[in-house]
Structure 1
Amino acid sequence: MATALVTAARERLLERRGSTGAGPGEAWRMCRRHWALLVLLTAGATLRIATHAAYQPALIYIDSIRYLELTRTLEPGGLNPLGYPVLLLSWILPFRDLALVALVQHVLGLAMGAGIYALLIRWNVRRWLAAAASAPVLLDAYQLQIEHNIMSDTLFQALLLGGLAALLWSPGSPSLPAISASGLLFGLAVTVRSVGMALVVVAVCAVVLVWRSPRRRRIGVLALILACFAAPLLLYSSWSLYYGKGFRFSSAVSGTLLYARVAPIADCDGLRAAGAPDHVIRLCPREPIAARQGPDYYAHDPGSPSHTVAAPRSMTRQEALYDFGVHVILNQPLDVAYAVAHDFAKGFAPVRTAASTDVPLERWRFQERYPAYSGHDPAQITREYGGEPPAADASWARFLRGYQDFGYMPGPLSAAGMIAGLLGAAGLGRRRTAGPPGLRAACLLPSIAGIALLTMSAASMFSWRYQLPALVLFPLAGALGVTALIGKPESPDQRHLRSSPR
């Protein structure tokens, strides 16, 4: 008995040492086992150091100024939600150095790469495939550029990945705390970028497809994740009510965005024939459809009818613009659907190009000089919020711009990841020997999230900036889908998990 107790204690101690990774030998074995990820992390960190050396203190875009001002006022109701100023900027700006914002966002970029790899390893994905799935967010030059901007995109990606990781971290059914955390992270993502509202589809699918329980209990779990999803939005709406903007989360400029989406394709003669009101006819662009600008012009340019045409006395400008959009959609539903589908498909182009009517691609390209935009002085911004005077190192900037010519995830590769995730979710291939239970749902969730987010973005306008969530979602879906399609021998623990009674 004493010998058995000593043996059991020794095995327990060895197991504890192994689980904590104590000792240089174990650390070396871990490095050898995951060397591909370490190489990618090193390369990603090096590129981010080069970006920091190229532009000081950070890149300041047009939206950056609005985000910085919102950090002071915390006033809801504008074009940009408050999530980014509250969750990130408000904690860093007191240090009076905008470079710290870029540093935190670069760290988030590296953490997302490591998180994708760790999540895939949990699902028994081959290590080389898991490393390949983490490469886009670590190495993509457009990702590097947006991380160095005072912009909300990096935080949005991190919350998005965090919500998915909470759902998928434990193969099989996630726990109730994980379900709650996922809903909360998805809800916070909506407060960072309104397009995140599409994630409610992912939340519902997660409970329907991932959670394994009787139907009655599943309804309760669905109510839990939706309540957690709604909690940040209710708090946001309450803050909006406090500021006299009404109990709502939707942006006050939703009418402008809807108008900008449909104005390029609006059939003015058709609206007249359908008996549209006078204010709708006045808002219709006078140019022939073939000669019109794109949604970016109709949303933001001072010469756009959305800014120049007066609204009737009985409604606000936003209500008039929204009314115009509704009339066009009802009169031309197929044209509007085609325009959205066309912009959705642009994100899968082999190379990064932009039509003359799209948001200019140069906005998301590294410039050899420090970029400045009309009407905004970056030096004034750094004096006001802290940091070195804006400057660009020409040699590093040229290097990054040259790297950006080829250092990005091609659109067909992104499409392949999306399709592989959908095929794996459909149950094709050797799914039964591919990994733990629930792999089909694991393939589907990131695929659905990517499709929903990119579709909602296309419903506004096309910009390569809006395609960045695909760097996180479609490689993740693709790696899980390939694992489901081609299979992988199960470990003894996985065989035990699959064969054990539930």
Structure 2
Amino acid sequence: MRWREALRPHRAFLVLLAAGAALRALAVLGYRPALWFWADSFAYLSSALDLRPLPSRPSGYSLFLWALSPLHSVTAVVVVQHLLGLGMAVCVYALLRRRTRLPGWGAALAAAPVLLDVHQIQLEHLVMADLLFTALVVAAVTILLWRPRPGGWLVVVALLLLGLATVTRTLGLPLIALALLPALFARRWRTALAGLAAASAVLGGYAVWFHDAHGSYGMGGSSTWLWSRTMTFADCAVMKPPRDLAVLCPSGPRLAAPAYIWDARSPIQRVKKDRERLAGEFASLAIRSQPLDFLATGLHDALWAFEWDRRPYPSPGPQSAYVFPASVKPFTSKVASGGRTAAELTTAYQGASGGTRVAEPFAGWLRAYQEQGFLRGPLLAVVLLAGLAGVLARRWAALLPWTAAMVLLLLPPLIAAFDHRYVVPVVPLACLAAGLALGAPVAPVASTGSSARTAAGGRRRSASANVQADDGGRVVPADRAAKA
């Protein structure tokens, strides 16, 4: 039948897609209704219920939860997130098949980490902003690279998606600049301006919403996170801070960066007024006084992404390996966010408490798989090096996803802390860059002219006649298509 012939070149990917869907089904069946990250998950849920931006972080994910709230189901939320995860793999595969000569199995291999990495699946099952952010970024990059020279409307849609990604996690802001660079280098001023306007409309609209709730324009970033990062290297003897900032100087043994926010021994706990302002000024002074220490500390922590095993505690202090657990503690009466407990928040969202229930044997099968079913750190390094090799070889299509992957890998350890949760969004972009680097690019089809064109137009028609689409939908020379 015709549909079988059409699917035949994609058999390898379809097998992997089915395996990825099966693993996600185990997550949905084994951990009901979702996994929660204390207390961030409940802060997002509280913001979705009140439809009010959070003061300490962007609330684009809360808008996502609000949009899905008519379903009255946390399970529906994670199912949508799992579908977005599968959609990212489809983007990687489809783009590689369109823009390169990679065979079906090669493009499927590039998409495999997105489909089969258990930590990707765990992130999809977590009520957190990271999955939505990653899906928006991958969709934007796919749109920008779908054609060698994307039209103005494609650029506008892509920048609109990156604007939405930025109000989900502020890491999207440098990606907006990266996405605009190709149009600027090509001197496509109108296209660049239209794309910038689209992203600015999203950011500006969010800033107005934030102002309406909190009295100032912003996106809810917290200077405390950057301050905690600088506390791992700050030397007040070098910085010579003024008296009002000296109270924030580190004392005693150094802690992991996140511990400086929560630990009772942290200097920030002694500050009662103007905490955000003082933390921001201290961090700025530390970076200006010790720029090399700032860079060395962040880059050193980023290297943890390339270790063979994902250690739960790569440094002293709280960390998480982000795995599917054997058991989950029930909700307690502790306030989670907005003056409400976790049970109260989840009940308001779906009509019943959302405490996680571990259901066997599905959860056990998934835990057995996660012992080996993930992309090891050295393999991620190889994938990133393959993308870099393509950039150096002037495979320019690989440049955008590779630079975006490096931004997402390096920026969090520089401005906040290393966390394995921040490494997962790097993988689909890195795999896409590697595929674009290793696969020979497909030559664009020359356009056919009208019968009134000149001989030059006739030559273009001849060139167009010498290319055909193979059974995978890619454009190849006619003689190669005939052999296939």
- Per the shorter chain, which TM-score range? 0.7 to 0.9
Of 321, 328, 331, the match for 1:370? 328
Match of residue 219 from structure 1: 189
**Percent of matched pairs sharing the same residue:** 33
Q: Residues of 1 paired with 2:442 and 2:213: CA distance?
A: 56
Match of residue 304 from structure 1: 266
Distance change in 2, residues 1:77/1:91 (3 Å)? closer
Match of residue 329 from structure 1: 287
Q: Residues of 1 paired with 2:41 and 2:214: CA distance?
A: 25
The alpha-carbon deviation at position 193 of structure 1 amounts to: 0.9
The alpha-carbon deviation at position 384 of structure 1 amounts to: 3.0
1:233 corresponds to 2:188: no
Residue by residue, what CA displacement relative to the aligned partner does 1:283-322 show, whole Å, maximum 9, x if unpaired? Answer: 11211xxx311111112335422233344xxxx1111111
Question: Do the aligned residues in 1 keep the contact of 2:302 with 2:409 (CA within 8 Å)?
Answer: yes
Of 277, 281, 293, the match for 2:246? 281
Match of residue 400 from structure 2: 445
The alpha-carbon deviation at position 489 of structure 1 amounts to: 9.8
The alpha-carbon deviation at position 115 of structure 1 amounts to: 1.7
The alpha-carbon deviation at position 371 of structure 1 amounts to: 4.5
Q: Residues of 2 paired with 1:405 and 1:392: CA distance?
A: 18
Question: Do the aligned residues in 2 keep the contact of 1:350 with 1:410 (CA within 8 Å)?
Answer: yes
Figure out how many residues of one structure are paired with residues of the other and give that number: 439
Question: Do the aligned residues in 2 keep the contact of 1:421 with 1:481 (CA within 8 Å)?
Answer: yes
Q: Residues of 2 paired with 1:358 and 1:196: CA distance?
A: 27
1:109 corresponds to 2:85: yes
Of 401, 418, 429, the match for 1:462? 418
Residue by residue, what CA displacement relative to the aligned partner does 1:445-481 show, whole Å, maximum 9, x if unpaired? Answer: 1001111122221221100001111121001101111
Match of residue 262 from structure 1: 230
Q: Which has the larger displacement, 26-35 or 388-397?
A: 388-397
Residue by residue, what CA displacement relative to the aligned partner does 1:10-59 show, whole Å, maximum 9, x if unpaired? Answer: xxxxxxxxxxxxxxx12111222111111111101110111111111111
Of 44, 47, 58, the match for 1:81? 58
Q: Residues of 2 paired with 1:389 and 1:333: CA distance?
A: 45
Question: Do the aligned residues in 2 keep the contact of 1:81 with 1:193 (CA within 8 Å)?
Answer: yes
Q: Residues of 2 paired with 1:121 and 1:380: CA distance?
A: 48
Match of residue 137 from structure 1: 114
Match of residue 320 from structure 2: 361
Whichever residue aligns with residue 264 of structure 1, its letter is T
Of 418, 421, 428, the match for 2:384? 418
Whichever residue aligns with residue 226 of structure 1, its letter is L
Of 418, 431, 446, the match for 1:475? 431
1:481-492 to 2 correspondences below 5 Å: 481-484=437-440, 492=467
Q: Please state which structure has a larger fraction of its residues in helix.
A: 1
1:146 corresponds to 2:123: yes
Distance change in 2, residues 1:163/1:33 (3 Å)? same
Match of residue 140 from structure 2: 163
SS at match of 2:231: helix
Residue by residue, what CA displacement relative to the aligned partner does 1:371-415 show, whole Å, maximum 9, x if unpaired? Answer: 558845654443332256531124333332232221111122222
Question: Do the aligned residues in 1 keep the contact of 2:55 with 2:220 (CA within 8 Å)?
Answer: no
The alpha-carbon deviation at position 422 of structure 1 amounts to: 2.2
Residue by residue, what CA displacement relative to the aligned partner does 1:339-392 show, whole Å, maximum 9, x if unpaired? Answer: 111122221222212323354234x11111125588456544433322565311
Question: Do the aligned residues in 2 keep the contact of 1:302 with 1:308 (CA within 8 Å)?
Answer: no
Q: Normalised by the size of structure 1, how large is the TM-score?
A: 0.82
Q: Which has the larger displacement, 181-190 or 224-233?
A: 224-233
Match of residue 347 from structure 2: 383
Distance change in 2, residues 1:385/1:488 (3 Å)? closer
1:346 corresponds to 2:304: yes
Distance change in 2, residues 1:401/1:74 (3 Å)? same
Distance change in 2, residues 1:408/1:89 (3 Å)? same
Q: Residues of 1 paired with 2:343 and 2:53: CA distance?
A: 27
Distance change in 2, residues 1:383/1:357 (3 Å)? same
Distance change in 2, residues 1:389/1:416 (3 Å)? closer
SS at match of 1:34: helix
Question: Do the aligned residues in 2 keep the contact of 1:256 with 1:299 (CA within 8 Å)?
Answer: yes
| Unaligned ranges ≥5, structure 2 | 445-465, 469-474, 479-484
SS at match of 1:122: helix
Q: Normalised by the size of structure 2, how large is the TM-score?
A: 0.85
The alpha-carbon deviation at position 117 of structure 1 amounts to: 0.6
Q: Residues of 2 paired with 1:351 and 1:477: CA distance?
A: 24
Match of residue 434 from structure 1: none
Question: Do the aligned residues in 1 keep the contact of 2:47 with 2:54 (CA within 8 Å)?
Answer: no
Q: Residues of 2 paired with 1:306 and 1:372: CA distance?
A: 31
Whichever residue aligns with residue 85 of structure 2, its letter is G
Distance change in 2, residues 1:187/1:93 (3 Å)? same
Match of residue 453 from structure 2: none
SS at match of 2:232: helix
Match of residue 7 from structure 1: none
Q: Residues of 1 paired with 2:371 and 2:97: CA distance?
A: 31
Q: Residues of 2 paired with 1:82 and 1:470: CA distance?
A: 21
Q: Residues of 2 paired with 1:304 and 1:332: CA distance?
A: 21
Match of residue 14 from structure 1: none
Match of residue 48 from structure 1: 24
Q: Residues of 2 paired with 1:59 and 1:219: CA distance?
A: 45
Q: Residues of 1 paired with 2:137 and 2:56: CA distance?
A: 21
Match of residue 295 from structure 1: 257
